[in-house]
Structure 1
Amino acid sequence: MDVHVIDADGLTKHTPDELPALLTRADAVVWVDIPLCETQHADVLTRVFGFAELAVRGCVERNHISQGHLYDDHLFTVLHAPELGRGGHVHYVELDQFVGPNYVVTVHGPLNPVVDRAVAQIDTDHVLARIKAGTLHPRTPMALSAAIVSAMIRREIDLVAKLARESGRLEQQVTDEDHDDDPEALLEQLFEVGHQLLAIRTIVTHSAETYRNLARRGTRLAEADAGLVVDLADRFDMVRSMAEGQREFVHGVIEFFQTRTSTHLAVAAQELADTSAKQNDQMQRITAWVAIIAVPTAVTGWFGQNVPYPGYGTTAGFVASTVIIVVAALALYVLFRWKRWL
């Protein structure tokens, strides 16, 4: 648990034992950052801050959707930031916040073991570094909270931009027919990018609705704080539109790829059918001629046996066999022409 105080002199670090005294100060913003909420931390949240048991439980357990609750003297939010994993999977990195009259408590929720713990603190570390460098000096708890959420939003925008570059690269491969790629692998990559954009859109949609709901119900918020809440909701909506637009682009690329592939398959199938028809026609012609040629072979083969038959060894027998060959061949020719085999 890290305890910081932001006042007119800048940022100073304190111990958790000093919290009760620090929370009495009206001239400073007390920032408590908890990397992972364990039993001793939950006890501090309940005993020192007096937070509701349900909210504290939400810090200990993993939450799968964003949410916001407005209490009498503070508000509680649950947000998620996307982190790309393997195979198109998107991890939900949780950040819980309590924003009170003179304090902000940030709690980094439970993480999937495959996600580096440092990923959960990217945004809070970024804000802390800016405060230390003197480029940021939040004067109210809501301003500090908004700075942290703004860092999260900028990271989401960068992630959408990264996926936009990747989808553009894949689109070039799809439109380049000379590019030697595995179609199945290319389509799999497109599906992964589309799924990642869908996950980001879902995350920011929930976040936008959380702040939009707080703005509708936050009649007890100061005017400046209410303006920050509305601004954050609008910025989350902007990221949602960006992710949705890029996802539609990816779907368009997938549809183009599938349509072009289907067209190529249809053309190839038609060409194969035409080739098969030509081959069938040629086989019919070959079969017809083979049948015609088989007639003299059969007749001469029969009459060529060493078996006497009427006309054997005479001119009349030769003429008779010749007539039989010609008549049979002509009959077959006429038959095949009638069947349009010739």
Structure 2
Amino acid sequence: MITAAGVSEHSADALPALLARDDGLVWVDIPGCDPQAVHVLSEVFRFHPMAVQDCVERNRVPKMHAYSDHVLVVLHAPERGERGHVHYVELDQIIGRNYLVTVHGPVNPAVPPEVPLRETSQVLARLRSGRLRPVIPFDLSYAIASALIRNQEDYVEAVTSQVWHLEQRVTGGEPDDALEFLNELFQARHGLLAVRTMATLSGAIYGRVAALTAISDAGKRLAADLADKFERVRAVADGEREYLQGVIEYYHTVLVIKAALIGQAQNEEVQRLTAASYAQNEQVKKISAWAAIFFAPSLIGTVYGMNFIHMPELHWTLGYPLALVLMLASSAALYLFFKRRGWL
């Protein structure tokens, strides 16, 4: 219970009596929507069944529903996970005439247990220290949503620092592992897109809240201010995303140029090997041609050098000159043949 005298804590059994008072503001913070919490939401506050269902189930996008006597607002805060994953930490608010109920939606077990209570713990510390004294429920809701916005801004700041480091690695020299570096680039881009989505949808929600006729003028002003703050987070995330896109395009250009240079070097090497292979083939052809030219006289000389008894050519007077002429003629014929084929 929040009154002009300060903050006091009570059990769930005291809720009916506290809600009947008109001298303060009741804040109920529910860490997890278990059956007892569902009973309080349904039987004590008598919220609309759809509002209770939204508190029990996980909502993947921010939303707002206005009922006859209360307004449900669902927001998300980012939390960095492993391998670039972004956890959507849900915070539900139900705002009534003299109360505010905050419900921390289902959370991934990988998220540390203190993370979902981050914003409400910060606001509770301000209440206990006397630095915050809300008068209407929207004052308290505004403080909690502002804490969530600061966490979104801190997340963008952390990703921005990572983006600057990535840019230095690109401009300072080629990263060691191109695939791992590209993975880091797109992880940072994913984080910025996630926060941008959260801020954009949340800003639109508070724009709708500011237009509700059932909300007081003070509540409308606070909702409009929150919409403006979420819009600023979106703009900053967009700016950093564009900056990161420039880094990605620059690195992509570096990879393309490097691949082109490697391809050019490979083409030059292939051309060199092709020229060497062509020259080698030419030499082989010349050697083969001369071997064939010299083979013909050797063959004739070998045949006529066998000196068999029954070789009539051995007794011819013109046998020796004819053998020489045959050798020369066969060699000349082969030379002319290979010359015309371009082998010599």
Q: Is the 8 A contact 2:297 2:331 kept in 1?
A: no
The residue type equivalent to 1:263 in the other structure is: I
**Any idea what SS the aligned residue of 1:118 has?**
coil
Residue number among 193, 209, 213 corresponding to 2:204 in the alignment: 209
State the match for 1:340 in structure 2. Answer: none
Within 1, Cα distance between the matches of 2:161 and 2:43? 49
Amino acid at match of 1:176: G
Q: Pick the aligned partner of 2:274 from 266, 270, 280.
A: 280
- Does the 8 Å contact 1:66/1:80 carry over to 2? yes
Whole-Å separation in 2 of the counterparts to 1:151 and 1:89: 22
Aligned mate of 1:81, from 77, 86, 98 = 77
Query: TM (normalized to structure 1)?
Result: 0.88
2:24 alignment partner, one of 23, 28, 37 = 28
Matched, 1:119 2:115: yes
Q: Does 1:90 align with 2:68?
A: no
Structure-2 change in CA distance of 1:34 and 1:121 (3 Å): same
CA contact (8 A) 1:311 1:317 kept: no
Aligned identity (percent) is 40
Residue 81 (structure 1) shift: 1.1
In the alignment, is residue 186 of structure 1 matched against residue 178 of structure 2? no
CA distance in 1, matches of 2:139, 2:129: 17
Equivalent residues in 2 for 1:148-297, closer than 5 Å: 148-179=144-175, 181-216=176-211, 218-297=212-291
The alignment yields a C-alpha RMSD, in angstroms, of 2.4
Q: TM-score, normalised by structure 2?
A: 0.87
2:190 aligned partner, one-letter code: H
Report if the CA contact (8 A) 2:296-2:327 is conserved: no
Distance (whole Å) between structure 2 residues aligned to residue 72 and residue 178 of structure 1: 61
| Cα 1:319/1:201, change in 2 over 3 Å | same
Superposition deviation, residue 326 in structure 1: 5.6
Moved more, 271-280 or 181-190: 271-280
State the alpha-carbon separation in 2 of the partners of residues 311 and 60 from structure 1. Answer: 117
Which amino acid is 1:124 matched to?
Answer: T
Q: CA deviation at 1:285?
A: 2.5
Q: Which one of the candidate residues 97, 100, 108 is aligned to 1:101? A: 97
For 1:114, the aligned partner's letter is A
User: How many angstroms apart in 1 are the aligned matches of 2:320 and 2:283?
Assistant: 29
Contact 1:293-1:329 within 8 A present in 2 as well? no
Unaligned runs of 5+ in 2: 306-318
Per-residue deviation, residues 26-63 of structure 1 (Å, max 9, x unmatched): 22111111111122222222222221111112111221
Q: Give the counterpart letter for 2:38 in structure 1.
A: A
AA paired with 2:247? V
Q: Radius of gyration: which is bigger?
A: 2
Amino acid at match of 1:133: S
The alpha carbon displacement at 1:331 in A equals 3.5
Higher mean Cα deviation, 28-37 or 83-92? 83-92
- What secondary structure does 1:76 align onto? strand
Residue 302 of structure 1 corresponds to 296
C-alpha distance in 1 between matches for 2:163 and 2:289:
69
Contact 1:68 1:77 in 2 (8 A): yes
For structure 1, list consecutive stretches of 5 or more residues without a partner in the other structure. 338-342
SS of residue matched to 1:80? strand
* Residues 287-328 of structure 1 deviation map (CA, whole Å, 9 limit, x = unaligned): 223212332222223322312397679765675566457645
Residues 1:317 and 1:56: Cα distance change in structure 2 (over 3 Å): same
Name the CA distance, whole Å, in 2 between partners of 1:103 and 1:65: 24
CA distance in 2, matches of 1:312, 1:28: 138
CA contact (8 A) 2:31 2:103 kept: yes
Q: 1:54, 1:267 → 2: CA distance?
A: 62
- Cα distance in 2 for partners of 1:44, 1:326 equals 111
Q: Does the residue aligned with 1:27 lie in a helix, a strand or coil?
A: coil
Deviation of 1:185 (Å): 0.8
